[in-house]
Structures are given as C-alpha cells and as structure tokens.
Amino acid sequence: MKALTRTDFNFPGQKEVYHGKVRDVYNINDDILVMVATDRISAFDVVLPKGIPFKGQVLNQIAAKFLDASKNVVPNWKLATPDPMVTVGLKCEGFRVEMIIRGYLTGSAWREYKAGNREICGVKLPDGMKENEKFPRPIITPTTKADEGHDENISKEEIISQGLVSKEDYEVMEEYTYELFNLGTEKKNKKGLILVDTKYEFGKRDGKVYLIDEVHTPDSSRYFYAEGYQEKFLKGEPQRQLSKEFVRQWLIDHNFMNQPGQTMPEITDEFAESISERYIELYEHIVGEKFNKETSDEDLAARIEKNVTECLKTLKR
C-alpha cells in the first residue's frame, strides 16, 4: 500500500508552503489555503519514520464532514474538498494557541493529576477523582502552538496578559469551543461514542473569528465506546478507545516518549498496515458509514495536483 509522506507542489498563484507534522499547507495568493492531509503520523510531538496508508484520507474526510455539519454553529474556513486528501479554504491569521477541551479526566491530564497536580492551565481540579471520570462540566486547557517541539500548557489569563489573543477574541474562541464540543458530543452519542476530549484551532479574517484546521478526527480527538463505559470505570479497567492513543501506548511500551536519550523503535510494514486498519475502523465508527479507499493507477501526488489545480480555477477570486 502506498503512503504520501512528502509533497512538493507548485500550484498556480502559490506564494509559499508550510510543512507541518501531518499537513502541508499551500498559500495561494495570500487568500486561499490548500491543506493536504499527508499519511505522516506524529506522536509525542515527533513524526514517525513511516507513513500510514489512507490515514490522510481518513483525517481529511472526517474533518470535512464535521466542518460541513457545524457551519451553522461556528463559521469555518472550508470552501471545497477537491481530493480525498485535500481541503481548500479561506486563509486566516491563525491564533498561536490551541483550544483543548476535556470532558473526562484521562490522557496527559490524568498523568498530571496522578502525579499530584490539582490545577491544569489555571483550572482547579477537585481531589478524589479517578481515571476516565467525567468532569461536572467540560474544562478548557489551552496550549501554546509550537512550530517545532512541545506545545506548552497555558492559562486563559496568561494568553490574554501575554497578548497572544485579545480578551474579546479569546471569549469568542471559548464560546465556540463549548458549542463545538456540545455538538460533537451530541452527534457522537447517537453513534454510541463518547467524545472525551479534543482540540480546536481558530484564526481571524476581516475581523471575524473562524474555525480552522481539522475537527474531531482521531488525531485531534479521543473517543470512548459508550457501551461498557460505566462498568469499566467502576472496575477501574481501561476504556475501549477510538483515538491514536494506541500508537502512543505502543511507543511507551517500546520505551519511547521523545525524551532525551530515547530511540524511536522500528515501524515495520506490518505495524504500519495495522495502524492503517485501525484508522479505517475509527472512520467507520466516527462517521457511521463504510470507508471507501480512494485508489487509482495515478501516483497520489499527481492525482492531488490535477484535482487541486482544477479546483483553483473555479475559485479564482
């Protein structure tokens, strides 16, 4: 199976390109962005050395579906999806923070809590909570947005005092974050899933705050199966998850958390294929429909270039 791990396009009107951990973003005339969801996969803020077939398609199509489903709640950047691995949309000035919202105490928040911390990003947590316990109300725990290395936890007060985001814009982002999480929770509950935590990114264009980037994908979100949640919680058993936490756990089991002196374990073809199968499983549960592998005789890059070029002709502004 083929995987797209690198792109080097030259689209009409292209000004620059930004290669992120997973997505490559092409700036077209400082007005439109072409976001290519590659098959790269990252964990612990490092890109793994092997691509995962169909992962980019999974992420892009989940995000596109939720951007469409939420556009009446929160304005977003999406204009078109000309290719299974590509979204084209409005160029916004991205805020340098990520809005992470948590409905349950799990993941990195649980690891901090277990270590004795009772405050995350300025949010105070009560004593006596257990792993995977539901918060009385979802909490927002923002991070800085780092181009390289680790994102850092930061409080609302620090964001505003440091001038990263104005008070007015932050409050809009905060309101949108709760609304999106509530909408996602409602939609996933109907599919037998619990939206545990997720992250949103926002930008600004012409004085208006927009939702940008991916939404409710397994890279940006964590899901539990609703069936059996309460029983497992009461017994202190691990929850059945739909997220890429299984990749993180595999790395932890192989003594890698991107700490000094640690070496990335070998990613075999078999393991890469198993990750691909898990991502497809995630898609089918999250979206509620069968995943169609987009394959053709064309090279992936050639297909994307053709589809995006045709799209840009129709979007000439």
String of DSSP letters for 126-181: -TT--TTPEEEEEEE--EE--SSS---B--HHHHHHTTSS-HHHHHHHHHHHHHHH
Is residue 317 pLDDT above 70, yes or no? Answer: no
| Residue 249 dihedral angles phi and psi, to the nearest 5° | -65, -40
- Mean pLDDT for the stretch of residues 114-129: 96
* Local confidence band at 252 (pLDDT 50, 70, 90 cut-offs): very high
Please say if the pLDDT value at position 261 is more than 60: yes
119 — pLDDT class (breaks 50, 70, 90)? very high
Contact between 2 and 303 (Cβ < 8 Å): no
pLDDT of residue 71: 94
Q: Which of 301, 245, 272, 280 has its CA nearest to residue 61? A: 280
* Euclidean distance between CA atoms 33 and 25, whole angstroms: 6
Report pTM: 0.88
As a whole number of angstroms, the distance between CA 27 and CA 29 comes to 6
Reduced to 3 states (helix: H, G, I; strand: E, B; else coil), residue 45 is coil
Residue-level pLDDT at 262: 93
Residue 103 and residue 109: Cα distance in Å, rounded? 11
Who wins on pLDDT, 22 or 243?
Answer: 22
Band (45; pLDDT cuts 50, 70, 90) = confident
Q: What percent of the chain has pLDDT over 90?
A: 82
pLDDT digits (tens, 9 = 90+) for 58-88: 999 999 999 999 999 999 999 999 999 999 9
pLDDT, tens digit, for every residue of 2-43? 899 999 999 999 999 999 889 999 999 999 999 999 999 998
Task: Note whether 101 and 197 are within 8 A (CB).
Answer: yes
User: Contact at 8 Å (CB) between 70 and 178?
Assistant: no
Q: Categorize the per-residue pLDDT at 1 as very low, low, confident or very high, splitting at 50, 70 and 90.
A: low
pLDDT at 297: 61
- pLDDT for the residue numbered 316: 67
pLDDT at residue 149, rounded to an integer:
58
Domains of the chain: 94-245 (3.30.470.20)
Q: Tell me the pairing of strands 208-212 and 119-120.
A: unpaired
* Helix, strand, or coil (residue 245): helix
**Sorting pLDDT into bands at 50, 70 and 90, what band is 132?**
very high
DSSP letter assigned to residue 292: -
What CA–CA distances, in Å, run from 11 to 5, 91, 134, 246, 303? 18, 15, 46, 36, 13
Of 281 and 311, which is predicted with more confidence?
Answer: 311
Helix axes 55-70, 269-287, angle to 10 degrees: 20
* pLDDT score recorded for residue 219: 83
pLDDT band at 251 (very low <50, low <70, confident <90, very high): very high
Amino acid at 232: K
pLDDT, one tens digit per residue, over 143-182 is 998 766 567 999 999 999 999 999 999 999 999 999 999 9
